[in-house]
Structure 1
Amino acid sequence: MKRRKFLQKASISTLGLVTTGNLVACVNPTSQKEEVLTTDTEASVKPLVIATWNTPLAVSTAAEVLEAGGSALDAVEAGCKIEEANEKGQSVGIGGLPDRDGNVTLDACIMNSEGDYGAVLCVKNIKHVISVARKVMENTPHVMLVGEGAEQFALSQGFQKENLLTEASKKAWEKWRQTAKYKPIINIENHDTIGMLAIDKKGNISGACTTSGLAYKMAGRVGDSPIIGGGLFVDNEVGGAAATGLGEEVLKTVGSFLIVELMRQGKSPQEACEEAIARIVNKPNSDFKNFQVGYIAVNKKGETGAYAIHEWFSYNRYKNNENKNIKSDFILNRKA
């Protein structure tokens, strides 16, 4: 079927807003924390992969696809599937922490270098929602499917139905129910959403984002992760950006789209990420000390950037044949 083209130059005011991810997940104790990125001025040697949080296996999987001559689109899908299959992560794919009713619901989106976009929201029983999002992009006239309709579509495309609530996540939910307090937790060495950007050997950029959303959210809640311009945006002429953290705040400034537009105006990825975080922090009555948002970005030259509100946000980057976890700079560090 003919794919729908998303108008890349739509104004921010016309972008649909919905709401993102929780701040709970796994950490690799071997991650390297000694490097704090302020700016990356050297254009990298293609290919390149950058992803939120400490996700070395996901990034190395994507890098292998690129090194073998695969497309950036294939790379980000393959990389995100690694985290979706990681039961210990408790925030992406199987094993994700459920909503307050005990149901695991997943959100994902993917965007290619041609500006095509596909997303699924609030999906139950399907582990690899990033692949379902790609099927929406390539096999339907739509860009977004939700809930039961998305699940039915996935089953029609050959995806298998499975229980996503692991015993560990069920026990965590049962413990939460004893108090039922509902407040986002600022990440400490943890990750929620995985957002990934890649540049292939042809110089094309694609991106993907997948999550189980905010832990113990209200049933039906959707964050920024599957929303174009919020959790992810790619313009192959300019670059791409992805978000992690409290999606409600990302969506209020259409963060990923903002970063790409700032890069279009001449800012480096690092400068653009810093401006996007500042937009959140400097809003009137912002409660930024009680939530986290982090961004990653890459431009057409292969320069990268990352920035967050609080400490502890990190990202993995494959560049010049090295896959490294890097601690991001953060705005409260400069306000101290």
Structure 2
Amino acid sequence: MANRRDFLKQAALVTAGAALPKLDFEGITAQNVGTKPIVLSTWNFGLTANAAAWEILKSNGKALDAVETGVRVTEADPNERSVGYGGRPDRDGNVTLDACIMDEKSNIGSVAALQHIKHPISVARAVMEKTPHVMIVGEGALQFALSQGFQKENLLTEASEKEWREWLKTSEYKPKANIENHDTIGMIALDQHGNLSGACTTSGMAYKMHGRVGDSPIIGAGLYVDNEIGAATATGHGEEVIRITGCHLVVELMRQGKSPQKACEEAVARIIKLTKLRGKNLKDIQVGFIALDKNGNHGAYCIQGGFNYAKQDNSGNVLVDSDYHLK
């Protein structure tokens, strides 16, 4: 006969089990089964970003350090025309950058409409670690960056300036899905310690109005991390992601028990529903989400074909085409 101590242990286990969300295993496949460490990032430039992040993760490093290091690679590449140095300017010819970062303890930092600084993600981390604030924008963000030792630089490359001057001949602002919408690197990682972190950085929509800010620097929209549940990041038309606070939604859906894949699909479905409600053409927009849960399971989904993401774990670094709605 079980004694009182055994009975109490069994009761505690039953109670703990009842508190856990009912897991949706429908979205878990052989391609996205759990593992750690693991890092995911948006678009094909995520392959080189992942490689840099992996150097930290494979050495038992922290996810926070990995995601910052990884996206800095893309920020510094002048050939990647939608992030950091070499990014396409706004309609006035200014390269303005947005970024945010979030760690496993819900520490957050963000900058928006930042000019002249090559690595906004590192400025965002400095906001997180060295100020009482969450977000600093515009001229104030530049002043803060300079006070922290960041160097002021001209971020408008010859190639991006040439494109901008061609655009000025018509000044037509109509972003094309998967081109100007190909505008963000978001990275989420799970380290060997079981901790999650994320980073998101962009130069935003090409030829946007000066001062426009999208979802990328907004915690809960372009990025969200909950170390008990999972993490998500977004890319594409930022206004649509903000409309549903997309990445927070994805993580909350995972909290309810949905797999990362199913959570991304439901978030996209909400954007589709609101787009139709507002009488807008779905073919004019693109939004993609990637998500990673606490166990290393991952998923992705977008509105229309063309979005891909990079995944690196112990099996290697690969580019994955996301499933999508419009077929």
TM-score of the two chains, using structure 2 as the length reference = 0.88
Higher RCO (CA < 8 A, seq sep 6+) = 1
In the alignment, which residue of structure 1 is the partner of 2:22?
none
| AA aligned opposite 2:227 | N
For residues 181 and 28 of structure 2, the distance between their equivalents in structure 1, rounded to whole angstroms, comes to 23
Match of 1:85? 76
For residues 271-296 of structure 1, what are the alpha-carbon distances to aligned partners after superposition, in whole Å with 9 as ceiling and x for unaligned?
00000000011121243211100000
Pairwise CA distance, 1:251 = 0.5
Q: After the TM superposition, which of the residue ranges 120-129 and 183-192 deviates more from structure 2?
A: 183-192
Q: Is residue 265 of structure 2 the alignment partner of residue 271 of structure 1? A: no
What is the SS of the residue equivalent to 1:256?
A: helix
How far, CA to CA, are the matches of 2:29 and 2:97 in structure 1?
Answer: 33
Secondary structure at the counterpart of residue 209 of structure 1: strand
Q: Does 1:52 align with 2:52?
A: no
Does the CA-based 8 Å contact 2:111-2:123 persist in structure 1? yes
Of the three residues 210, 215, 228, the one matched with 2:201 is 210
Which residue pairs with 1:314 in the alignment?
A: 308
Contact in 2 for aligned 1:106/1:210 (Cα 8 Å): yes
Aligned pair 1:252/2:246, yes or no? no
2:158 partner amino acid:
E
Report what 1:170 is aligned to: 161
1:192 Cα shift?
Answer: 1.5
For structure 2, which runs of at least 5 residues remain unmatched after alignment? 1-26
Distance 1:297 1:56 in 2: 17
Aligned to 2:23: none
- Letter matched to residue 48 of structure 1: I
Aligned length: 296
The separation in 1 between residues aligned to 2:182 and 2:56, in whole angstroms, is 24
Corresponding position of 2:295: 301
Distance 1:99 1:278 in 2: 30
Q: Structure 1 residues 144, 125: closer, same or farther in 2, change over 3 A?
A: same
Residue 190 of structure 1 and its aligned partner are, at CA, apart by 8.0
Is contact 1:44–1:320 with CA below 8 Å preserved after alignment? no
| Corresponding residue of 1:97 | 88
Q: Which moved more, 1:190-199 or 1:250-259?
A: 190-199
Equivalences for residues 118-157 of structure 1 within 5 A: 118-157=109-148
Could you say which residue in structure 2 is the equivalent of 1:159? 150
8 Å contact from structure 1 (residues 199, 206) kept in 2: yes
2:67 aligned counterpart, secondary structure: helix
Question: What runs of 5+ residues in structure 1 fail to find an aligned partner?
Answer: 1-37
The TM-score with structure 1 as length reference comes to 0.86
* Match status 1:243 vs 2:237: no
What amino acid sits opposite 2:110 in the alignment? A
Q: State how far apart, in whole Å, the 2-side matches of 1:73 and 1:247 are.
A: 24
- Distance in 1 of aligned mates of 2:232 and 2:217: 13
Inter-partner Cα distance in structure 2 for 1:287 and 1:210:
27
Q: Shift in Å at residue 45 of structure 1?
A: 2.8
- SS state at 1:331 partner: strand
Q: Distance in 2 between matches of 1:175 and 1:145?
A: 32
Query: Does the CA contact (< 8 Å) of 2:181 and 2:237 recur in 1?
Result: no
Q: CA deviation at 1:66?
A: 0.5
